[in-house]
Structure 1
Amino acid sequence: MKSGQSIVVKRLQQAQNAHDLEAFLACFTSNFQGEQPAHPEKAVHGVEHVRKNWSTMFDDIPDFHSELLRSAVEGDTAWAEWYWFGTRCDGTRFGMRGATILGIQADQIEWARLYMEPV
């Protein structure tokens, strides 16, 4: 990966694994736009929407862990393959696998397409 793109993906993963919401949010532009093409109703508009979603994730999955399986960069776009897992507060297992395509500007994520599905 190119240095700027690899830095933000690494920061993103480190913040996820530390459950550091503020460091996680610092990876995104304020006007971030996220979409899940397979689930269009789950679109995310703005960093405050990211805050709401991920604070819930960190609260509901206290041992949430993010594993970066592979990544690549082309221009200002980064591709990352992920495995997210943990145990929910109710004791059920959480697991998602898939890929994200991230638009990077000035070492922050400006837009993303998530292709993550439960496993």
Structure 2
Amino acid sequence: MNHPESAIRLRDAIATRDPAVIAACFSEDYVTIAPQNPSLSFTGRDTVLRNWTAIIARMPDITAAILRSSVNGEDIWTEWDMRGTVSDGGPDALVGTAIWSTDEGGLISESRFYLAPVNRNAPRAF
């Protein structure tokens, strides 16, 4: 499948496991909206850098795969599967969808973030 350039750039940046390279995929004034958990919403590339620094520290062998993607007007839809080994026994996978827009330079400028940790031991809700 041909994925959008911004998604491929982010996937390849994650493969470097360098938080600065990952953060460089985002605009300085990047906005993330987390509809399922609004307290996780934030603004700024500096927060992307802090978040990815923590993710890499916790899961130093993280890999990222783009499962599906689609472009709808200004929106880029991507489905992700990120996995790695964790030392603290916490979730070892992050899966879900991110819907984003890019700026004129192709940097991710805004996203609606629906990725969540996989909880293999959660009770069945329905």
Q: Which residue of 1 aligns with 2:28?
A: 30
Q: Answer yes or no: is 1:103 the counterpart of 2:105.
A: no
Equivalent residues in 2 for 1:1-119, closer than 5 Å: 6-90=4-88, 92-106=90-104, 107-119=106-118
Which amino acid letter does the alignment assign opposite residue 113 of structure 2?
Answer: L
Deviation at 1:90, TM superposition (A): 2.8
Q: Which has the larger displacement, 16-25 or 59-68?
A: 16-25
Task: Give the whole-Å Cα distance in 2 for the aligned partners of 1:94 and 1:11.
Answer: 23
Larger Cα Rg: Structure 1 or Structure 2?
2
Distance 1:93 1:34, change over 3 A: closer
How far the C-alpha of 1:92 sits from its partner, in A, is: 4.7
Q: Displaced runs of 4+ in structure 1, greater than 4 A?
A: none
Q: Report the residue type matching 2:107 in the other structure.
A: Q
Q: CA RMSD in A?
A: 1.8
Shift of 1:113: 0.7
Structure 1: gaps spanning 5 or more residues:
none
Per-residue deviation at 1:22?
2.1
TM-score by length of 2: 0.85
**C-alpha distance in 2, partners of 1:23/1:74?**
27
Quote how far apart the aligned CAs of 1:75 are. Answer: 2.2
Unaligned runs of 5+ in 2: 119-126
Instruction: Look up the SS of the partner of 1:57 in the other structure.
Output: helix
